[in-house]
Structure 1
Amino acid sequence: MTEQERLIGKHPEATHILGEWLIHMDQPTTVSKKHRKLEENYTLRRKAIEQIAEWIIEHHIIEQRLEALERKARILQKYDFDHYVESLSLLPSSEVTKKGNVAEIILVEYLKECSGYSQIIHKLRYNTNVEQAMKGDDVLLLNPNNVFEKVIYGESKFRSTPNKQAIEDAVSNLEGNKKLPVSIGFVADRLYEMGNSVLADELMDLQNLLKENRINVHNVGFLLSTKSATPSKDAATQVEKHLDTSNPNLIFISLGLSNPDEIVDESFKLAKERLLSIK
């Protein structure tokens, strides 16, 4: 077992899109550096975009709103329905927000598959301004059958060109007192509203135990950026060069893609098309 596997689990199997599309390499570790390098099988990019588009819809929109759209689609003409969907601002149009959200979504889905843990709620559904990045933990994964087992808490970054600052910013937000998640109370409140008071009560107890450092927390930094033969433009090379942490339970994941902006643009474009084609 590698140190990376100890912290977040094994890379997904090829039966999962992220195991099929992405190739992983657990880099040699030191006390201050644990890095998992991810690259893509470019021939599967379109298949990955199709899945990411589905995740974009799932992470941003609750099931009841989708059901409401289906009802509207049955009674409105196509032209009127398109305008109706546009007026709801269900997905962000801001390029910065879209990039950040895609990085967050990919990291959440990747860690879910590696660890077998759950997100509990989809955070982005509760953003009061869809055009802005939502405050709070980018990734908070727990075992819903035993929330006290371990917490996986992480931060994601998207950069069209990788840089030292992005890596250092992610690491600094996952060290010291910052290594603890801040949104457990928020998640508990949503569960109370849903009527799941048993799990919500457990999360409140978990928050108390985290403050007392009695729960195992594994932290994950993530950089989604470019793959390049030029070291200064290659995500994995930059992480290897600049990753330095005092947190022994921190792993950093790099995902280097050729033209990562295309992944974001095409995934959101397809997600929008699917919303407009609801029947």
Structure 2
Amino acid sequence: MTSLPNHVGVFGGGRMGAGIAHTFLAAGAQVTVIEADVAGVQAAVERVTRSLTTAEQKGGLAEGLAAALDRLEVSDDATALGGCELIIEAVPENVDLKAGILAKVEALAPRAVLGTNTSSLSISGLAACLNGPERLIGLHFFNPVPTSDLVEIVVGSATAPEVVALAQNLVPAIGKTPITVQDSPGFASSRLGVAIALEAMRMVEEGVASAQDIDTAMTLGYRHPTGPLKTTDIVGLDVRLAIADHLAETLSPRFEPPQILRDKVAAGELGRKTGQGFYTW
């Protein structure tokens, strides 16, 4: 495989999967996205088209919308992944769901490199479901994928050195910067990001300051592009809660989620996707 594979598969066409598909299409690859059913297929097509259209309007799509879309296939038939050189799963952060999909994909494309877009789950644990665990690597993209500069490459205990090298060459080929970390709960980015966000939530809970003022402290005082609470709204409070619970269980009780986060998730206040989180959207 060259730095950029000719044919990339993405299992899951939600916000993250559509963004990953956009990124590879914009770089010149053929992309096949797999969704669960016909409705999911249509929604994924619309997400990718909308994302690419925005990029074209901003001058960020070198070859034009039509050419990029010509290389996109979206299907509810996973056998369409058979010819892919690289397949990335981009489904919700659930270990059983991800493991099941990776095992299915491995059987369909026995020579493909497998990537998982998990933000906190163990790469080694997910690889245990595979016949060839050396083929799996973590490729942690960030939301929104098309405009984010970072991809966190996560190396499992069985990941082959040549797969690591491939990922390190691949990420610059799609216009992003890689960092490489060893498999550890929360990796580097989620562990640091969640730690700051949880402390910010505790400060809101204790009445230290408003969400907006806490975020302003970080954007103006520390040059963060977005404050930790607004970032939480963008990521999704339910996603942050799942990661915090995982880190508390596997790493340290210091990651125990504050009650305000549990209460907001229970109330359906999940952030931007529901219109209400720490902010009103």
TM-score range, shorter chain: under 0.3
- TM-score, length of structure 1 as denominator length: 0.27
Given the two structures, how large is their TM-score scaled by the length of structure 2? 0.26
